[in-house]
Chains A and B, each alone.
Chain A
């Protein structure tokens, strides 16, 4: 027994010695103690460890961030000199695109002769042609094929090329509107006329990024249906603002400044370390311990730091909304316009927003969407404000009036409905629980009942998508949307509510909105940013007046930045967010 105790005590002493020795200096700045000169390495965290660096396949945020740091395209965004916003500039392109025919259908892009990969190999027309061919390959089926084919512009025959395995119509690569003119010039033929800004935007997105052919081919399997390019550090080549120097997949990666990047002088950091940490509480603990330079907070974190001056709000472009399955034969009241208005005007969005730490929202185009090339947000335009109701649309007396009319028109004495929502979403939970209490208070306790139906997110989405063929799938539902293409073309954010949108998640319908969207496709409207903004505003107004859907909250996110970090923007930029890669550190 005594021997056992002495062994235990010895073990404890050894353990405490290990704890005492080899401590690492704090990485973040919240400690604030003076440090000897060291490289400016920014320590960041992602909600999961990056596992894919191939820009043509990366979809989750951690992967797209990594791909974005180490790859660049023909065009891209950099901060303006005064830090007031960002500007779209040529990256590997030598200049803005040239309209060959003068009608906006054929564009040539010259490539910089000194453009190169991190290992010194040149980036030229062959690089981009190979990359785009692989992106659109009908056997590889890259995730970004549809984005390259059509986001801000539509490339001629690109969709027909990548989808030929299902359409059965063979399309040769030579028929696709992407051509090499010479070693440093590519030509793009579009299925329609577009302006210079649209072409530049299109070739600034990840789907147009180059891939390094030798490694891409080396990772290809025998039937050329998969490639392991971008799945390991040694199977990836960098050409972006940073070079990938170390990568422990699923855990952490380290970046170093890329001196051969065209705008390397704008990068103040020597490098970055990004850790994958799923648990939000752990992320916040790491920030408190000085191991991170900034962190994205969850609701609990926002509550904890709400008085902290370092707390910085931003937006993420998601609108949380309530939709109807108004074709449900068991609930004819859902098709009644007065009932829809009753629901719209009975939601106290400000109170719900306070509970959820989000923005109250009575609109459909989020604050992240830009209307004009100079960076003006759609939501800042007067035409986008004039039709919005007061008090974020909360008018309980008017709502009750509409509800009474609805009951009269449908011959009902009571409405009992269920609302289906993704139970993994805390915002939806806040919304539905609040409405379950407030709606009966407004409409009458014995006249309105709301039952909650929380199910897994995937199942909720599946139910709503099935409603065209299964009208009884659901009654009321919670959903959210953020459309990538809407960032620089706000009407794209509203396309999801048109009756012809192939991927819509609910049976939205509004004839007026369909008409306005058709108008926006007319090149005269599309190429004139002011006319387009007017049509967008008219479409949004029509959707709100017809109550095609009920917006409730706009997502707001909160960051904590350490005292050491010096951001390039004072407020979140729609294109570059906080421009972390352009930040500086005071240590």
Chain B
């Protein structure tokens, strides 16, 4: 297992290198100048471009980029979004609130998704199942930002139950209240996904022969479900839940904008649209690393949850 993980980590680094290189060239080839302020004189633009090596051939710029990283540990500074601030410091300042939003969303989605999926499976073809199926269709089809806008308009704007935007305040209760709507908006899709997936898996598991054996052995209906059915159904669920983190991070971009949460989400789009290359690269690396590591976690989780995978690996 250890060797497998090390090998995968090596592949991740290689993949990141390819992503960084491709991203570098694509961004530099995009139309538009980094320094496009009409109030800047051509002389200062020329001097700024020379300082950032933007007047050099692309391959030379690529060399300078890696040299700065390897020799000085310098990933560059933001030019437009937060001028003069090192790019990873920009991200570091924003990551905590994005992480809180995403982790809280997952923390809400997983139990609610499991609960609703279980209920739907147990009450298959009955009224609760139909209601939950309708909910699943709605939450999966309608984008999260639509729910976010509706929640903001009704729950915050009209009813005044919650603040309209995120409150970055020392009052923890107020801060928590201002996070409820964005967490809810971000959680609806994952809840529906988990519910749908678990319902399908549980229904199949509940009708399998080992469940009949478990009941025959004398286990109660609920004990049989918890000890046997869940365990078997959770194996493929890990494949859904862990990558969901990456999916939620992508969705949180719009939610952060609607609720004015100063997170990482807006950085990527703002950096791309303002030609802030260094910051775009940093955001790209961040999101890529998260995605790659979640895929690794999924693979490792298979071995942990399903002993057949571990045993199969050992036999080889």
Q: Report the Cα distance A15→B43, complex, angstroms.
A: 60
Given contacts A250-B262, A251-B262, A285-B153, contact A146 B43 (CB under 8 A): yes
The 9 A-B residue pairs whose C-beta atoms are closest, nearest first, are: A458-B32, A146-B41, A163-B43, A250-B262, A251-B262, A51-B82, A462-B31, A277-B260, A459-B31
A248 near B: Cβ within 8 Å?
Answer: yes
Contacts of B152 in A (CB 8 A): 282, 285
B41–A149 touching, CB < 8 Å: yes
Q: Judge whether A18 and B173 touch: CB under 8 Å.
A: yes
Within 8 Å CB of B80, what residues of A?
Answer: 59-60
Quote the shortest CB–CB distance from A225 to chain B (angstroms).
Answer: 7
Alpha-carbon distance between A295 and B80 when the two chains are bound, in angstroms: 25
B285 within 8 A of A: no
B40 at the interface (CB under 8 A from A): yes
The answer, yes or no, to whether A291 is at the interface (CB within 8 Å) is: yes
User: Is the CB–CB distance between B162 and A19 below 8 Å?
Assistant: yes
- Name the one of B43, B165, B180 contacting A277, with C-beta atoms under 8 angstroms: B165
A-B contact pairs, 20 of them (CB 8 A): A1-B222, A18-B177, A22-B171, A22-B173, A51-B82, A51-B85, A141-B47, A146-B39, A146-B43, A249-B93, A276-B260, A278-B260, A278-B266, A282-B152, A285-B157, A289-B164, A458-B32, A458-B275, A461-B32, A462-B33
- Contact residues in B for A24 (Cβ distance below 8 Å): 163, 174
* CB contact between A282 and one of B165, B174, B275 (< 8 Å): that residue: B165
Binding site for B on A (CB under 8 A): 1, 4, 8, 15, 18-19, 21-22, 24, 48-49, 51-52, 54, 57, 59-60, 138-139, 141, 143, 145-147, 149-150, 159, 162-163, 165-167, 225-228, 231, 248-252, 275-279, 281-282, 285-286, 288-289, 291, 456, 458-459, 461-463, 481, 483-484, 502-503, 505
Q: Given A146-B40, A226-B84, are A275 and B165 neighbors across the interface (CB < 8 Å)?
A: yes
CB pair B43 A162 closer than 8 Å: yes
Give every chain B residue within 8 A of A276 (Cβ-Cβ): 260, 262
Q: Complex: how many Å from CA A513 to CA B245?
A: 60
Q: Name the residue of chain A whose CB is nearest to the CB of B44.
A: A146
Neighbouring A residues of B173 by C-beta, 8 Å: 18, 21-22
Q: Which of B216-257 contact A (CB under 8 A)?
A: 222, 257
In whole angstroms, what is the CA distance A286 to B157 when docked? Answer: 7
Is residue B50 within 8 Å, beta carbon to beta carbon, of the partner chain?
A: yes
Contact A59 B258 (CB under 8 A): no
Q: Which residues of B contact A163 (CB under 8 A)?
A: 41, 43-44, 46-47
A288 touches B157 (CB 8 A): yes
Say yes or no: A279 contacts B50, CB within 8 Å.
Answer: no
Q: Are A483 and B38 in contact (CB under 8 A)?
A: yes
List CB contacts (< 8 Å) of B257-275 with chain A.
257-260, 262, 266, 270, 273, 275
CA distance A19 to B174 in the complex (A): 9
Contact of A166 with B156 in the complex, beta carbons under 8 Å: no
- For B32, list chain A residues within 8 Å (CB): 456, 458-459, 461-462
Which chain A residues lie closer than 8 Å to B31 at the CB level?
Answer: 456, 458-459, 462-463
Residue on A nearest B49 in the bound complex, by CB? A166
Q: Assess the A279–B42 pair: CB atoms within 8 A.
A: no
B85–A145 CB distance below 8 A: no
Contact B161 A141 (CB under 8 A): no
Smallest Cβ distance from B78 to chain A, in angstroms? 8
Pairwise interchain contact A225-B262, C-beta atoms closer than 8 A: no
**Residue of B with least CB distance to A57:** B83
Instruction: Name 19 extra pairs, CB < 8 A, besides A1-B222, A226-B77, A286-B164.
Output: A4-B115, A19-B177, A24-B163, A143-B40, A159-B41, A162-B43, A163-B46, A165-B50, A166-B47, A231-B83, A248-B262, A251-B166, A288-B157, A289-B160, A291-B163, A458-B31, A461-B36, A463-B31, A483-B38
CA A90 – CA B171 in complex, angstroms? Answer: 42
Query: Which of B160, B161, B165, B180 has the most CB atoms of chain A within a 10 A radius of its CB?
Result: B165
Please tell me if B209 contacts chain A, counting CB pairs below 8 Å: no
A166 and B260 contact, CB distance less than 8 A:
no
Residue of B nearest to A286 (CB): B164
Smallest distance from the beta carbon of A201 to chain B beta carbons, Å?
A: 15
Q: Which of A166, A231, A286, A505 contacts B85 (CB 8 A)?
A: A231
Mark interface residues in B42-56 (1 if CB within 8 Å of A CB, else 0): 111011101100000
A291: chain B residues at CB < 8 Å are 163-165
Q: A228-B85, A281-B149 are in contact. Are A250 and B94 (CB under 8 A)?
A: yes
A249 to B37, CA, bound (A): 23
B81 contacts chain A at the CB level, 8 A cutoff:
yes
A49 touches B41 (CB 8 A): no
Cβ–Cβ < 8 Å partners of A248 in chain B: 168, 262
Contact in complex: B39, A147 (CB < 8 Å): yes
Q: In the bound complex, what is the Cα–Cα distance between A569 and B266 (angstroms)?
A: 36
Closest chain A residue, CB of each to CB of B38: A503
Q: Of all chain B residues, which has the CB nearest A26?
A: B160
Least CB distance from B124 to A in Å reads 15
Query: Nearest-CB distance from B26 to chain A (Å)?
Result: 14
A49 to B119, CA, bound (A): 44
Is there an interface contact between B260 and A162, defined as CB atoms closer than 8 Å? no
- Chain B nearest CB from A165 CB (Å) reads 5
B64 interface hit (Cβ, 8 Å): no
Whole-angstrom distance between the alpha carbons of A163 and B38 in the complex? 17
Distance in angstroms between the alpha carbons of A506 and B81 in the assembled complex: 28
CB distance B39 to A458 under 8 Å? no
CA distance A232 to B30 in the complex (A): 31
Residue B17 at the A interface, CB < 8 A?
no
CB distance from A259 to the nearest CB of B (A): 25
> A232 CA to B116 CA in the complex, in Å?
46
B47:A162 contact, CB within 8 angstroms: yes
Residues from chain B with a CB closer than 8 A to the CB of A278 are 257, 260, 266
The answer to whether residues A141 and B51 also contact, given A21-B173, A249-B82, A278-B257 and a CB cut-off of 8 A, is yes
B176 at the interface (CB under 8 A from A): yes
* A159 contact set on B, CB distance < 8 A: 41, 43
* Distance to closest chain B CB from A292 (angstroms): 9
Taking a contact as CB atoms under 8 Å apart, the answer to whether A282 and B260 are in contact is yes
Residues on A with beta carbons closer than 8 Å to the beta carbon of B93? 249-250
A279-B257, A291-B164, A462-B33 known; A225 vs B51 contact (CB < 8 Å): yes
A159 to chain B, nearest CB (A): 6
Q: Whole-angstrom distance from the CB of A6 to the nearest CB of chain B?
A: 13
Contacts of A228 in B (CB 8 A): 84-85
Smallest Cβ distance from A405 to chain B, in angstroms?
A: 36
* Residue pair A138, B47 in contact (C-beta under 8 Å): yes
How far apart sit A24 and B38, CA to CA, in the bound complex (Å)?
43
Cα separation A454 to B33 with both chains bound (whole Å): 19
Q: How far is the CA of A28 from the CA of B313 in the complex (A)?
A: 64
